[in-house]
Each structure stands twice: as structure tokens, then as C-alpha cells.
Amino acid sequence: MSVADRRRTERLEADAAGVARAAEIIRAGGTVAMPTETVYGLGANALDPIAVANIFAAKERPNFDPLIVHVADRADLSRLLTADALADPRLALLAEALWPGPLTIVAAASDLVPPIVRAGLSTVGVRIPDHPIALAIIRAAATPIAAPSANRFGRLSPTRAEHVIADLDGRIDAIVDAGPTQVGVESTVIALQPGRPATLLRPGGIALEQLRTLLAPFGGIDVVAAGELGAAPLPAPGMTASHYAPRAAIRIAQGQHSFAGLARCALLGSDRTELSKLEAGAREAGVRVVTALPLSESLDPIAAAAALFEVLHRLDAALEGSDQASAIVASPYPDAGLGLAIADRLRRAAAATNGGVA
Ligand code: TXA
Ligand code: MG
């Protein structure tokens, strides 16, 4: 994040005025660190992709991990999940027994949830936090709030406002100080897929034993990488093969070989200027361009991050049904600020397909 991005971080009290101001900032697309019962979260309007991109910018995440969307009432889920996901009896059971509380449920997302929130996955993690201030802010903002832990990448999750300030002062719009959090570890994350046992993705504030008991009549719960539980944290989905990668091969453009062996391509420019260069390269190589899209008009990592997964999906769809002689060709993204996360995501997508780096 450049010096120009520094902002004054408002300190807000955990009272009615603080809640109202926090909600106002969220509605305006800003970022607010807020208490939950587990750890402090860095919140933004979950339905506003630019606001969500600002969360990643403040945290300096080198990659986009999916975020948990926080709601105040179960009724709010009806807009966020698919009808199938909403009909899963385990959702009602767990919500009844454990919400508000430190349990995150990952289930099929509706189209309303922007791809950057889900890091391009088809699922979204949701929870109702058990903290009066968090609930009041969500209700006053009248929108679901996406919030990862309010720490910079690689640092510990914050359990006090002072931890948040040490990491994020000058990078976020406000922090609501409600004293130390109660639970101190993050929520337990489980995935629900119709017709399959629930899966534990991350141990946390709700004990596995309790989930086993509750889910016993519904096929129980599978534990991924059981050997690692309690030792190392589970790998974040951003690091695993199940993470979103386009079906089409993707290449990072690199000089004259970028289009070698291709008959057709879809182009991804870091901005309009870079897109024009790619188009010229494709023309020179005699490769047909099916679609060409920039991540933003002029270079703007925040807007580009907000658009990345959407644009990848569109390019992927444009190449659907094409044979091996087709690929998405992307200009390399400059590494500064959120650019590092974008470049990393493109490199991973390239490595996950057989296109690799041209
Ligand atoms: O207690 C908590 O969960 C805190 C408070 C602020 O709510 N939040 C938190 O968020 O710990 P974060 O971003 O640090 O961790 C969220 C984790 C991801 O790393 C991932 O493991 C899982 O939740 N997750 C979220 N959405 C997912 C999805 N669609 N698929 C798989 N895992 C997901
Ligand atoms: Mg975290």
C-alpha cells in the first residue's frame, strides 16, 4: 500500500454513536475493524467488491482467501445461499443450536455474493457472531459484512483493539474498541454439501465433539487432515488444489513466445494499455482473439482485485468447448500493493492449468 493510501483511522466507542458511525462507514464502502466473540474482524460491505478489495489491501494478503460473511439473522441468509443450500436440514439444526456463535458454515453461494468474497469458489462461508456490537453494526449497516481477522498477513489474530491498531492503524477507516474478545480463537469452519457428510475445514471456537453429536443423525462429520488438527493450522483454501482455477489453460505473457502453439486465445490485460499490447502480439502471431478484457481501465490494483475472479470466469466461459490450442493469455501484474495478490493468483491459476508461464 502506498503512502497515498494512508488514511486516518477513527477510534470509535462501543456505544450507540460508535455503532452508527461504523455502519455509516460500511455503507459508504469503507473498512471497519469490529469486535466479534472470537477475534476482531476487519469488516466491509460483503456485497461491494471494491470495499472487499480494500480489506485485502489493508491486510496485504499475498493471495485472496475466501472471507466469512457475517449476518445478524438467519433470514439474511436467504439472499446469500442457493435454495438447495438453504433447504439442507443440517443448516437449520446447526443454526438453531449454535448461532449466534463461533461456527462458520460453508455452503453454495447465490449469485449475489461477489466472486472476490469467495475467492472465485462457488461456496461462501457464513456465520452469526455472538457479540452485541457486531450484531448492532450489521443491523445498522443493513448489509451482510465480510470480515477476515483484523491482522496483517502472517500476524496473529487480534483479540484486543490495541492488536488491531498495531497492525492496521492508518490502513483502515475505523476501529470499534469493545475491549478483549471472549473466545480468542477463530470460529470453527465446516462445509455442508448436499448428500455428503459435513466436513471440518478449520477447528475453532465450537468443539468437534459437539458437532459430531449434533450431526450424528445426518451422516456425521469428516475431518480433513485429522493428523494436523491441533498442530498446524489447516492449509487455507487459497493454497489448495480445490481453489478456483479456470478450466482453460492460462499463460502469463512473456515476450515473443506468449502465443506459441495457439490457434485462439482470450486476453486479460492488467489495464487497457497492456491489453492493446497483448492484442498486437496475438495479431502478429496470427492467433484469433475470442475475447479481450482489462482488469481495470488504467492500472488500479484495488479495482483490478475486485474484478479479477469475475473477469477470469468470463474469459474461461468464452473459451469453453475449445480444444487444446486455446488459452487465456494474461499480462503479468505489477507486484506493488494488492498487485502482489493479483500476480500471485494469476501465477497459481497458470500453474494449476497446463499452460504455465509462456
Ligand atoms: O472467528 C472468525 O472466524 C473470524 C471472525 C472475524 O469472524 N474470522 C476469521 O476469518 O477468522 P479469516 O478470513 O481469518 O479466516 C476465514 C477462513 C478461511 O481462511 C477459510 O479457511 C475459511 O474461513 N473459509 C471461508 N470461506 C470459505 C469457503 N468458501 N470455502 C472454504 N473455506 C472457507
Ligand atoms: Mg485470519
- The DSSP line for 228-261 is GTTSSPPPPGGGSTTS---SS-EEE--GGGTTTT
Which residue's CA is minimally distant from atom 12 of ligand 1? 148
Share of the chain above pLDDT 90, in %: 73
Separation in Å, CA 310 to CA 96, 189, 268, 315, 323: 34, 25, 12, 9, 23
- Cα(266) to centroid(ligand 1), Å: 32
Is the pLDDT at 96 greater than 70? The verdict is: yes
Mean pLDDT of the chain: 90
Indicate the pLDDT class of residue 6, thresholds 50, 70 and 90: confident
Grid cell locating 98: 449454535
**What is residue 350's predicted lDDT score, i.e. its pLDDT?**
87
Of all atoms in ligand 1, which is nearest to the CA of residue 124? 29
Indicate the pLDDT class of residue 5, thresholds 50, 70 and 90: low
Of all atoms in ligand 1, which is nearest to the CA of residue 119? 29
Is the pLDDT at 233 greater than 70? The verdict is: no
- Cα(68) to centroid(ligand 2), Å: 10
**What is residue 244's predicted lDDT score, i.e. its pLDDT?**
60
Indicate the pLDDT class of residue 354, thresholds 50, 70 and 90: low
Cis peptide before 197 (omega within 30 of 0): no
- Cα(84) to centroid(ligand 2), Å: 29
**What is residue 345's predicted lDDT score, i.e. its pLDDT?**
83
Cα 85 from Cα 206, distance rounded (Å): 21
Neighbouring residues of 317: CB distance < 8 A, sequence distance ≥ 6:
none
Separation in Å, CA 255 to CA 22, 280, 312, 349: 48, 12, 22, 19
Cβ–Cβ under 8 Å, residues 83 and 166:
no
Q: Which of 117, 189, 224, 240 to mutate to test the pocket of ligand 1 (most atoms within 8 A of CB)?
A: 189
Task: Give per-residue burial for 203-235: e unless 16+ CB within 10 Å, then b.
Answer: bbbbebeebeebbeeeeebebeeeeeeeeeebe
- Of 136, 187, 130, residue with least CA distance to 19: 136
Grid cell locating 227: 493428523
Q: Which residue has the higher pLDDT, 111 or 324?
A: 111
Indicate the pLDDT class of residue 158, thresholds 50, 70 and 90: very high
Of all atoms in ligand 1, which is nearest to the CA of residue 234? 21
Q: What is the pTM of this model?
A: 0.87
Q: Which residue has the higher pLDDT, 26 or 182?
A: 26
Cβ–Cβ under 8 Å, residues 186 and 149:
yes
**What is residue 348's predicted lDDT score, i.e. its pLDDT?**
81
- Cα(354) to centroid(ligand 1), Å: 29
* Binding site membership of 149 for ligand 1 (Cβ less than 6 Å): yes
* Binding site membership of 339 for ligand 1 (Cβ less than 6 Å): no
